[in-house]
Amino acid sequence: MIEQARGWLGAARRVAVLTGAGMSAESGVPTFRDAQTGLWAQFDPQQLATEEAFRANPTMVWDWYAMRREMVAKVEPNAGHRVLATFAKRHPQRLTLITQNVDGLHQRAGSVGVLALHGNISEDKWLDEPKACCNASQPAAARPPYCKVCGNLRRPAVVWFGEMLPLETLAAAEAAAQECDLMLVVGTSGVVYPAAGLARMAAGKVVIVNPEPTELDDAADAVLRGKAAQLLPQLLED
Ligand code: OAD
């Protein structure tokens, strides 16, 4: 199966890669939906990952993201992140990397132009449309920081449930899917849309890399049952 996928990869002029939380599992970042260790098995997303939750309890939500931000700062990209970055450098213009992950590990491994559909946990932004006062001076250092004049809050620059994805990033990801000869779908359960829809939109072959069954297996031309940091080097190294 892996040889067949390597053959498709060798022939593909345009390759799209869609990654999810499983991509970073071997770096030590918990996934969302693992029954035991997944974040959504331990925490209620409605109380942490929505605008409503943040407005109701900004300090609790800020602290939860700060805890995850500190955790991802301590881990390292794995062999899967690294081989994707190396492949893109060796084959300019051939690979588009689309990720649902907010951990920044693809970028830290050296990938450039990553389409981060769900934002980046190490950044923050204004909760409400900023006024002139918001950007005129440093926000007050608090949890969360806030504008000293109008009280506008800083919030994590991630996409919460019920929010739109960044439009330009999503459009670029859709174009990459529609133009690709091969899409690798790595470490995602395939349940969150519109990201999962990109795999169904792919013009070319679809190869899934995941140790477990996913909601996208029916859209795949090949399913490679295994872990990202182990299988991606076998697939992508010359
Ligand atoms: P999930 O937690 O839903 O799925 C993780 C997937 O990774 C599962 O299919 C696992 O089988 C697989 N997996 C585990 N270890 C792996 C490994 N070593 N190699 C490869 N695959 C492995 O995470 P996502 O699909 O990324 O949204 O979740 C999608 C979105 O839901 C996230 O971006 C997040 C969450 O709510 C936002 O934060 C907006």
Q: Using one digit for the tens of pLDDT, what is the confidence trace for 145-184?
A: 999 999 999 999 999 999 999 999 999 999 999 999 999 9
Residue whose CB lies within 8 A of the most ligand 1 atoms, among 100, 117, 121, 217, for a mutation test: 100
pLDDT of 2 strictly over 90? yes
Q: Collect all residues with Cβ–Cβ distance below 8 Å to 52 and sequence separation of at least 6.
A: none
What counts of helices (H) and strands (E) characterise the chain? Answer: 11, 8
Among 11-15, 37-41, 118-122, which stretch is predicted with the lowest mean pLDDT? 37-41
From atom 31 of ligand 1, which residue's Cα is the shortest distance away?
Answer: 192
- 205, containing H or E segment: strand 205-209
Is the pLDDT confidence value at 8 over 90? Answer: yes
Q: Which residue has the tokens 């939500």?
A: 61
CA geometry: angle at 208 spanning 205 and 213, to 5°? 135
List, in sequence order, every beta strand (DSSP E) within 78-191: 95-99, 115-116, 119-126, 154-158, 182-186
What's the pLDDT at 31? 96
Q: Pairing state of beta strands 15-19 and 95-99? A: parallel
Q: How far is the CA of 120 from the centre of ligand 1 (A)?
A: 16
Residue 73 Cα to ligand 1 midpoint, Å, equals 19
Average pLDDT (37-59) is: 92
pLDDT of residue 32 exceeding 90: yes
* Cβ-count burial 200-227 (b if 16+ within 10 Å, e if not): ebbebbbbbbbeeebebeebbeebbeeb
* Distance set, CA 56 to CA 49, 123, 149, 179, 219 (Å): 12, 21, 21, 43, 40
- Would you state the structure tokens that stand for residue 24, as one six-digit string? 């970073």
Atom 18 in ligand 1: residue holding the nearest Cα: 227
Q: Which residues line ligand 1 (CB under 6 A)?
A: 20-22, 25-26, 31-33, 38, 100, 118, 158-159, 187-189, 191-192, 209-212, 214, 227-228
Tokens matching residue 73: 């700062």
Query: pTM for the full model?
Result: 0.97
Per-residue pLDDT band for 37 (boundaries 50, 70, 90) equals confident
**Residue 49 has what pLDDT?**
95
pLDDT at position 214, please? 98
**How far, in Å, from the CA of 152 to the mean position of ligand 1?**
32
State the span(s) of the chain assigned CATH 3.30.1600: 30-74+121-158
Q: Name the band, by pLDDT with cuts 50, 70 and 90, for residue 43.
A: confident
Confidence of residue 94 (pLDDT cuts 50, 70, 90): very high
Is CATH 2.40.30 the right assignment for the domain spanning 30-74+121-158?
no
pLDDT over 70 for what percent of the chain? 100
Task: From 190, 176, 178, 175, select the one nearest 220 (Cα to Cα).
Answer: 190
What is the reported pLDDT for 197?
Answer: 98
Does pLDDT of 120 surpass 90?
A: yes
The reply to whether 118 belongs to the active site is yes
pLDDT range class, residue 112, cuts 50, 70, 90? very high
Rounded distance from Cα 4 to ligand 1 centre (Å): 25
Q: What is the reported pLDDT for 154?
A: 98
Q: What angle separates helix 228-236 from helix 79-90, to the nearest 10 degrees?
A: 20
Q: Which of 63, 232, 96 is nearest to 175 (CA)?
A: 96
Residue 209 CA: which ligand 1 atom is closest?
A: 20
- For atom 6 of ligand 1, the residue with the nearest CA is 188
**Best probe residue, ligand 1, of 32, 36, 50, 115 (max atoms within 8 Å of C-beta):** 32
pLDDT band at 238 (very low <50, low <70, confident <90, very high): confident
d(CA 65, ligand 1 centre) in Å: 17
Q: Say which amino acid occupies 197.
A: G
Kindly state the tokens that stand for 46: 């409605």
Task: Name the pLDDT band for 84 (thresholds 50, 70, 90).
Answer: very high
Q: Which among 7, 41, 5, 48 is positioned nearest to 21, based on CA atoms?
A: 41
Calpha distance 222→182 (Å, rounded): 11
Measured between alpha carbons, how far is 74 from 192 in angstroms, rounded to an integer? Answer: 27
Judge whether residue 207 has pLDDT over 90. Answer: yes
Residue nearest to atom 21 of ligand 1 (CA): 187
Chain region(s) in the chain for CATH 3.40.50.1220: 1-28+76-118+165-238
Fold of 1-28+76-118+165-238: Rossmann fold (3.40.50)
